[in-house]
Chain A
Amino acid sequence: KAGVTQTPRYLIKTRGQQVTLSCSPISGHRSVSWYQQTPGQGLQFLFEYFSETQRNKGNFPGRFSGRQFSNSRSEMNVSTLELGDSALYLCASGLAGGAYNEQFFGPGTRLTVL
């Protein structure tokens, strides 16, 4: 069974630009979550989607947004990039998305903002 895939794997942008990251969950998984990982802040929750509905959102500015499609694939968008947005962005998928939802991570997208 294929794992979670994320594209692109690496991205270099300049301040003020916007970026869209893509995530394809494990086949059959309907829950997709996004996390930001930085050396200073560690792993921080961005948002979670299940059946195209956002069920929870972390403490990030409105520049960070996401969506989920009917095939469970998800995208996240960051507008007006800032230097501090440089991070590893991780997508995780889970089966049912309930309280006991095991989440499996993709390889991540490394975003560098210059």
Chain B
Amino acid sequence: QKEVEQNSGPLSVPEGAIASLNCTYSDRGSQSFFWYRQYSGKSPELIMSIYSNGDKEDGRFTAQLNKASQYVSLLIRDSQPSDSATYLCAVGRDYKLSFGAGTTVTVRA
């Protein structure tokens, strides 16, 4: 079983729609949870961090964490063409981040 699994892509959404990304993790002792965005040929960019159960909103992004279900999600509202990228879920424990394989999102105009 992989430590971090993300829903398989690619995910294609129309401009202005909501993109929904999911991530599950296997280690119940995981302490911190992050979403990174990676454009093709670039390095990952941190967009959200979440540490406790519930929702966290930042602009058009909302992260949700459910530790009992070992589940993290990211919603992108009002998707824009500039949101087209690969989104990486990362789970932290003991000074180490474990990453999922990523979900590629394409926002079509």
- A99 near B31 with CB under 8 A, answer yes
Type the 1/0 row for A33-77, where 1 means its CB is closer than 8 Å to any CB of B.
101000000111100101000011010000000000000000000
CA distance A101 to B51 in the complex (A): 10
B interface majority secondary structure: strand
Is the pair B102, A31 in contact by a Cβ cutoff of 8 Å? no
Interface-located stretch among A10-18, A79-87, A102-110: A102-110
CB of B96 within 8 A of CB of A102, answer no
Q: Which residues of B contact A104 (CB under 8 A)?
A: 46
How many chain A residues sit at the interface, stated as a range, is 20 to 34
Residue B101 interfacial (CB < 8 Å): yes
Q: Is the CB of A102 within 8 A of B46?
A: yes
Taken residue by residue from 84 to 104, chain B's Cβ proximity to chain A (1 for < 8 Å, 0 otherwise) reads as 000010101111111111100
Contacts known (A99-B31, A100-B31); A105 close to B44, Cβ less than 8 A: yes
Q: How far is the CB of B81 from chain A (nearest CB, A)?
A: 23
User: Judging by beta carbons under 8 Å apart, are A90 and B94 in contact?
Assistant: no
Is B43 an interface position by the 8 A CB rule?
A: yes
Taking chain A's interface residues, is the majority helix, strand, or loop, or is none over half, making it mixed? strand
Q: Does A102 contact B49, Cβ atoms closer than 8 Å?
A: yes
Q: Determine the residue in chain A with the shortest Cβ distance to B42.
A: A107
Contacts of A108 in B (CB 8 A): 43
- What are 24 A-B contacts defined by CB distance under 8 Å? A33-B95, A33-B96, A33-B97, A35-B99, A43-B44, A43-B90, A45-B96, A50-B95, A88-B43, A92-B97, A97-B95, A99-B32, A100-B31, A100-B32, A100-B49, A100-B92, A101-B32, A101-B95, A102-B46, A103-B46, A103-B97, A105-B36, A105-B43, A105-B45
Interface residues of A (CB under 8 A from B): 31, 33, 35, 42-45, 48, 50, 55-56, 58, 88, 90, 92, 97, 99-108
14 more contacts with CB within 8 A, not counting A33-B96, A48-B95, A90-B43, are A35-B97, A42-B100, A45-B97, A48-B96, A56-B94, A88-B43, A90-B44, A97-B95, A99-B32, A101-B95, A103-B34, A103-B46, A104-B46, A105-B36
